[in-house]
């Protein structure tokens, strides 16, 4: 939705970023007693705020983000000071407009909100949430020379991993990078891992002859990033190590789960975890969209769709090597082992 509300209303919402300007990471979930309308809106806000706690301070606010928040107010509401009584009126007005324009019947789901074009044009298109590096190598069909090109149109949507549990999740994500050919034109491209702060996965168990995977299996994943790098024999040439020799792994930890509702009168359910794996204890006031009766990968709940969110783990958060940061000096075509 594009808001028609005046700027001062947004200013009056309160902004947690003002109190955390020098924090290394954004604040995570805080107890909230003012979430009153569509509970799936509320669940989305809690999940998004928690995801942002794993994103670097430099990616929280700038002029571009400010414009995006005016166009898609749920992104601004993430940062609202819910504990600030002076901000209650502004928050109520914004919530009412969001409800009226986006969900007049009170049936929108967390997945609906997360999959809207506005989210792909804003939040999911930001660097910390891109699974693929926005620059890639490409060449026309039959050409020999590779060039660096931008993949801006689909990179955010392609960054959502669709997984059916038929194989190891980490290995499956790793298999998404490498050389591919366009089905129609035959043009060739090389996709690379972007080392995102957060990875999004849509999990629906459809694999035959296998039980659904549970939290213990999904708690951590190791992704083979399959990076391009300079050849030991010729530094001007890019190569990729054979899989059996490529031992690098990127570790990610499950930090949020959305159990997607399957009925109109059923709400989505959420769980949040710390990056070390412990479940966050949420307020009893959030019981309508938290719930304790469900388990990830329940064999008695076949066909359930889950949204899984992984955060990069431990020391890897301090800055990762970008495989395309210095591609400019490579003058020859990459080759592949």
Quick: pLDDT tens for 191-221.
889 999 999 999 999 888 888 999 999 999 9
Pairing verdict, β 135-139 and 178-181: unpaired
What confidence score (pLDDT) does residue 36 get?
43
What is the pLDDT confidence band of residue 321, given thresholds at 50, 70 and 90? very low
Helix, strand, coil shares of the chain as percentages rounded to 5? 30, 20, 50
DSSP 8-class letter at 96: H
Distance (Å, rounded) from C-alpha 228 to C-alpha 97?
A: 48
What is the pLDDT confidence band of residue 323, given thresholds at 50, 70 and 90? very low
Q: What percent of the chain has pLDDT over 70?
A: 73
> 292-314, pLDDT tens digit by residue?
788 888 888 888 999 999 999 86
In the predicted model, what is the mean pLDDT of the chain? 77
What confidence score (pLDDT) does residue 53 get?
84
Inter-residue contact 102 to 69 (CB < 8 Å):
no
What confidence score (pLDDT) does residue 322 get?
37
Distance (Å, rounded) from C-alpha 19 to C-alpha 38?
A: 28
Inter-residue contact 224 to 174 (CB < 8 Å):
yes
What confidence score (pLDDT) does residue 289 get?
75
Distance (Å, rounded) from C-alpha 67 to C-alpha 62?
A: 9
Long-range contacts of 229-238 (CB under 8 A, 24+ apart): 229/323, 230/330, 231/335, 234/332, 236/329, 236/330, 236/331, 236/332, 237/330, 237/332, 237/333, 237/334, 237/335, 238/327, 238/330, 238/334, 238/335
CA proximity to 168, closest of 224, 121, 209, 126 = 224
DSSP 8-class letter at 58: G
Model confidence at 279: pLDDT above 90 = no
The two structure tokens encoding residue 79? 């940062």
CA proximity to 259, closest of 291, 305, 215 = 305
> 160-183, pLDDT tens digit by residue?
999 999 899 999 999 998 888 889
When pLDDT is averaged across residues 96-104 and rounded to a whole number, the result is 66
């Amino acid at each position: 939705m594009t808001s028609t509300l005046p700027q001062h209303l947004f200013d009056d919402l309160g902004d947690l970023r003002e109190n955390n300007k020098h924090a290394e990471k954004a604040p995570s979930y805080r107890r909230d007693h003012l979430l009153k309308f569509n509970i799936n809106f509320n669940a989305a806000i809690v999940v998004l705020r928690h995801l942002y706690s794993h994103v670097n301070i430099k990616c929280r606010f700038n002029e571009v983000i400010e414009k995006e928040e005016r166009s898609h107010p749920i992104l601004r509401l993430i940062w609202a000071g819910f504990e600030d009584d002076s901000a209650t009126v502004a928050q109520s007005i914004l919530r009412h407009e969001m409800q009226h324009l986006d969900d007049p019947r009170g049936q929108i789901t967390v997945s609906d909100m997360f999959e809207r074009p506005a989210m792909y044009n804003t939040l999911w298109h930001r660097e910390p949430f891109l699974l693929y590096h926005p620059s890639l190598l490409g060449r026309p069909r039959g050409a020999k020379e590779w060039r660096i090109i931008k993949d801006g149109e689909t990179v955010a949507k392609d960054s959502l991993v669709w997984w059916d549990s038929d194989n190891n999740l980490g290995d499956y994500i790793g298999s998404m990078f490498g050389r591919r050919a366009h089905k129609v034109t035959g043009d060739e491209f090389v996709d690379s891992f972007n080392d995102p702060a957060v990875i999004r996965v849509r999990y629906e168990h459809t694999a035959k002859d296998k039980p659904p995977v549970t939290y213990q299996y999904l708690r951590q994943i190791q992704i083979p990033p399959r990076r391009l790098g300079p050849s030991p024999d010729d530094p001007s040439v890019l190569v990729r190590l054979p899989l059996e020799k490529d031992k690098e792994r990127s570790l990610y930890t499950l930090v949020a789960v959305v159990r997607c509702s399957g009925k109109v009168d059923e709400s989505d359910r959420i769980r949040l975890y710390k990056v070390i794996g412990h479940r966050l204890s949420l307020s009893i006031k959030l019981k309508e969209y938290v719930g304790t009766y469900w388990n990830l990968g329940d064999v008695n709940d076949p066909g359930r769709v889950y949204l899984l969110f992984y955060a990069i783990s431990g020391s890897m958060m301090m800055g990762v090597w970008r495989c395309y940061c210095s591609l400019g000096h490579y003058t020859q075509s990459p080759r592949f082992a």
